[in-house]
Amino acid sequence: MKSDYEAVIGLEVHVQLKTQTKAFCGCSTSFASSPNMNTCPICLGHPGALPVLNKNIVEYALLLGLATGCSIRPYSVFSRKNYFYPDLPKGYQVSQYEDPICFNGEIEIESENTKKRIGITRIHMEEDAGKSIHDIDIDTLVDLNRSGVPLLEIVSEPDIRSGQEAYQYLMQIRQIVMYLGVCDGNMEEGSLRCDANISVRKRGAEKFGTRTEVKNLNSFRNVERAIGYEIERQVELIESGGYVVQQSMQWDASIHETKVMRSKEKAHDYRYFPEPDLVGVNVNEEWLRKVQLMLPELPQARKARFIYDFGLPAYDAGILIEEKSLGDYFENVVSKLAVKSKDRYKLVSNWIMTEVMRVLSERKIAAAEFVVEPAFIAEIVDLISSETISNKTAKEVFAEMLISNKAPKSIVNEKGLSQVSDVIFIESTINSILKENVENVEKYRSGKNNLFGYFVSQVLKNTGGKANPKIVTEVLKRMLEN
C-alpha cells in the first residue's frame, strides 16, 4: 500500500457455540449428522411453534464478555433481523440489535513486536441460518441442520490497520473462545467465520473512506490475504480517478481476488424489531459473580506466567499457549521432572515444539489425544540432563516409545542405550584412534582444525554412539593439544 494511505478495518466474527442443543429448541448441534436430520418445527419456522432460550448461550456470552473486558448489560432483548435467503426458512434471524448483552470491550494483540489494543463494539447472541450447497452437479441443495445453531457475533471497532493485525486479532479470539470452552475454534468447519469491513483513506485524515465488506473468509490466512488484496484494489481505484462503491465482496481463494456479490445492506434494510416470542434477558449480580468464578486463566496471562515462572523465551511461550491442551501437556511434563530447573523447562519446551508437535501434526490430533504420558517426556528430559543418554539416543527412545508405550528408562535398560561417561574408557578409545590416524593428527596440529569433527565421529562410531559427546570433546581436545 502506498505510504500516504492507511487502511481502516473492522471485523465481524461469528463464533459457533459448543452447546449440545440449538439456541431456541432441543435439536442437536452435531456437525456430522446427515442433512436435515437435526430439525424440528421451531428451527424450521413452522407457524405456532414457540422458541425457548437455551440458558447456556447467555452464560457463554457472559464468559466471553468478561474475558474481553466488556461491560455487561443487565437487561437485553432479542430482535428479528428480516431478510430472505433459501436457507432461512423463517424469513428472519433471531439476533440482538440496539442493546447487545456485551459492549465496550477490547483485545490486546502483538504485531511487529508491539502491543496494540483492538476495541470491541459489541458481542451479541443470535441464531445461525441453514446452509446452501452449490458445488454439487445438480440443483442448489439446502441443509437446515445448522439453522438455529447458537452464535455469538463479535464486532470490533475500526482499529485494525493491516491484514497482519487482523490475523493476530482473529488468533486471539480463537485462543480465548477455546480456553473458555465455548467454541472448538475450527474455522474450516465454520465454527469461526469472519467478515471484514475495509476502507482506505489518506494518512492523517479523520473521515473514513467508503467501505466494502469481504465475505467467505474460511481461514486465518485467507483473511490476511483478502484484506491485503482489497486494500490494494481500493488504493489503485482511487489513484486512477475512480471511487469505491459500498458493496459486499466475496473472496475467491482459488485466484486470490475479491469479487462483487451485491450492494452492501444497511441496518434499515433488515427492518429490525423486537422478537415478540421471547422475553428479555435479565443478568443480575449474583449470576454474573457465578460466571466470573468460571473464568479460566486466559492465553495471554498464561503466556506471561510461562515466561516468568519457567524462564521460557516469548516465542516458546507463544507456541505452547496457542492450544490449551498443548499448554496443559507442557505443565504436566514440567510437574513430573525429577529436578526443577529453567534449563530443564527449556528442554521440555524444545521437545514439545519439535518431537511432540511433529507427531501431533502427522496424526492430526490435539495434545489431549497424544498417547505418550507427560511423565515419559519428563523422564527423557531427566535422562538427557543427567547425561545418561544423548540427544540422538533420546530420539531413538522416543520413536520406540511411540510404538511400545514403554517408559524411557525401561527402553534404555533393555537396549543398553546408556551413555558411556567413563573418562578412562573414553581416553583409551581416543588413544587408539589417534594412533591409527597419525597423519591426520599431524595435519590437525599444523592448523587443519576441521579434522576435529572427524575424530569425534570416529570415537562415537567406535563406541556405538554411546560415548558422552561432551566428555569426548573435552578429552579429545586435551589429548590433541598435548
177-204 pLDDT, tens digit each: 999 999 988 887 788 999 999 999 998 8
Terminal-residue alpha carbon distance, the chain: 64
Do 17 and 151 form a contact (C-beta atoms < 8 A)? yes
Look-up: residue for cell 562415537?
A: 460
Q: What share of the chain has pLDDT > 90, as a percent? A: 66
pLDDT surpassing 80 at residue 214:
yes
Q: Which of the four pLDDT bands, split at 50, 70 and 90, describes residue 1?
A: low
Q: What is the pLDDT of residue 14?
A: 95
Q: What is the pLDDT of residue 413?
A: 86
Q: Which residues pair with 336 in a beta bridge?
A: none
pLDDT surpassing 70 at residue 137:
no
Q: What is the pLDDT of residue 378?
A: 97
Q: Degrees (nearest 5) of the Cα angle 134, 137, 143? A: 40
Over residues 131-138, mean pLDDT: 75
> Strands of 92-95's sheet, edge to edge?
92-95, 79-82, 273-274
Over residues 393-418, mean pLDDT: 89
What ranges do the domains of the chain cover?
A: 5-291, 299-415, 423-481
Over residues 295-318, mean pLDDT: 96
CA pair distance 141, 138, nearest whole angstrom = 8
Least confident of 336-350, 376-390, 413-427: 413-427
Mean per-residue pLDDT of the chain: 90
Do 247 and 262 form a contact (C-beta atoms < 8 A)? yes
Other CB atoms closer than 10 Å to residue 139's CB: what's the count? 8
CA pair distance 223, 241, nearest whole angstrom = 27
Q: What share of the chain has pLDDT > 70, as a percent? A: 97
Q: Identify which of 390, 408, 389 has the alpha carbon closest to the alpha carbon of residue 398.
A: 408
Q: Which of the four pLDDT bands, split at 50, 70 and 90, describes residue 421?
A: low
Distance of CA 251 to the CA centre of its chain: 22
Q: What is the pLDDT of residue 50?
A: 95
Least confident of 132-136, 190-194, 252-256, 385-389: 132-136
Q: What is the pLDDT of residue 263?
A: 72
Q: Which of the four pLDDT bands, split at 50, 70 and 90, describes residue 153?
A: very high
Non-local (6+) Cβ contacts of 25 within 8 A are 40, 42, 43, 51, 52, 148
Residue 106 burial by Cβ neighbours in a 10 Å radius (0-12, 13-18, 19+): middle
Look-up: residue for cell 447472541?
A: 125
Higher pLDDT, 137 or 83: 83
CA pair distance 132, 388, nearest whole angstrom = 60
Q: Which of the four pLDDT bands, split at 50, 70 and 90, describes residue 431?
A: confident
Q: What is the DSSP string of 324-358?
A: HHHHHHHHHHHHT-SS--HHHHHHHHHHIIIIIHH
271: left (phi over 0), alpha (psi -120 to 50) or beta: left
CA pair distance 153, 173, nearest whole angstrom = 11
- Count Cα neighbours of 142 within 13 Å in the Cβ-side half-sphere: 11
Higher pLDDT, 216 or 409: 409
Residue 134 burial by Cβ neighbours in a 10 Å radius (0-12, 13-18, 19+): exposed
Bridging pattern class, strands 5-16 and 150-156: antiparallel
CA pair distance 320, 348, nearest whole angstrom = 11
CATH tag for 423-481 (out of 3.40.50, 3.30.2030, 2.60.40, 1.10.10): 1.10.10
Least confident of 266-280, 347-361, 446-460: 446-460
Over residues 231-253, mean pLDDT: 91
Q: Degrees (nearest 5) of the Cα angle 407, 413, 415? A: 100
Within 17-102, residue ranges assigned H as helices are 55-67
Do 345 and 311 form a contact (C-beta atoms < 8 A)? yes
Q: Which of the four pLDDT bands, split at 50, 70 and 90, describes residue 284?
A: very high
Set of cell numbers at residue 302: 498464561
Look-up: residue for cell 483478502?
A: 226
Higher pLDDT, 333 or 219: 333
Over residues 46-71, mean pLDDT: 96
Q: What is the pLDDT of residue 433?
A: 83
Q: Identify which of 340, 326, 442 has the alpha carbon closest to the alpha carbon of residue 381.
A: 340
Do 218 and 187 form a contact (C-beta atoms < 8 A)? yes
Q: pLDDT tens digit string along 310-338?
A: 999 999 999 999 999 999 999 999 999 99
pLDDT surpassing 90 at residue 459:
no
Residue 108 burial by Cβ neighbours in a 10 Å radius (0-12, 13-18, 19+): middle
Q: Degrees (nearest 5) of the Cα angle 400, 401, 405? A: 130
**Cα separation values, 181 from 26, 32, 61, 178, 388, Å:** 21, 20, 12, 5, 41
DSSP 468: -
Do 400 and 414 form a contact (C-beta atoms < 8 A)? no
pLDDT surpassing 70 at residue 264:
no
- The three-state secondary structure class of 242 is coil
Amino acid letter at 390? Answer: S
Look-up: residue for cell 448461550?
A: 57
Least confident of 65-69, 117-121, 201-205: 201-205
Q: Identify which of 45, 51, 44, 55 has the alpha carbon closest to the alpha carbon of residue 19.
A: 55
Over residues 222-228, mean pLDDT: 93
pLDDT surpassing 80 at residue 280:
yes
Q: Which of the four pLDDT bands, split at 50, 70 and 90, describes residue 461?
A: confident
Q: What is the pLDDT of residue 408?
A: 93
Q: pLDDT tens digit string along 26-37?
A: 999 988 889 999
